[in-house]
Amino acid sequence: MTEASIHQTKLNDIANCGIRSAIGIIFIIHGSVKLNPGFAGFLTGQVGFPPEMQIPIALAEIIPGILLIVGIFTRISASMLAIIMLGAILHVKKATSLTGEGGVEFELILLAGSLVVVAAGPGRASLAHMIKKLPRCIH
């Protein structure tokens, strides 16, 4: 029986770090835009959320984005971002179409990328991997 495996090569480490960084940067930028006062009006007018949710929603994108880039709590952060994308697809955009006005293609690719990070983990080019290599004093 054949088995698929990802070999631990430098190219795989670069690709893993690249996808984590790209997704992280996108979410940091999108979360930062949500700190704009106009987003509170969008929340109440079109989504039906109270304006007090503006800061938690923005931070729910910014903080996991930062954690993805540095490579700590990677699977948890990517899982949170995947849940946010499911909410954006199903609740905000209502999955009306794949492309065009109300299209969800951007959200789908972010969802897929987040799920890849959940499956692959932080990789060797991450702070989590570096911390594991630190000597520890065990008594």
Question: What is the number of structural domains in the chain?
Answer: 1
Domain range holding 63? 10-133
Tell me if 138 is assigned to some domain: no
Q: Cβ(25)–Cβ(69) under 8 Å?
A: yes
Average pLDDT, the chain: 86
Compute the distance between CA of residue 2 and CA of residue 34 in angstroms, rounded to an integer: 47
Largest CA distance in the chain: 61
Tell me if 29 is assigned to some domain: yes
Tell me if 89 is assigned to some domain: yes
pTM exceeds 0.85, yes or no: no
Structure-model confidence comparison of residues 46 and 12, the more confident one: 12
pLDDT at 134: 63
Q: Cβ(123)–Cβ(129) under 8 Å?
A: yes
Compute the distance between CA of residue 66 and CA of residue 76 in angstroms, rounded to an integer: 12
Structure-model confidence comparison of residues 104 and 23, the more confident one: 23
- Highest mean pLDDT among 8-12, 33-37, 77-81 belongs to 77-81
Indicate the pLDDT class of residue 20, thresholds 50, 70 and 90. very high
Tell me if 92 is assigned to some domain: yes
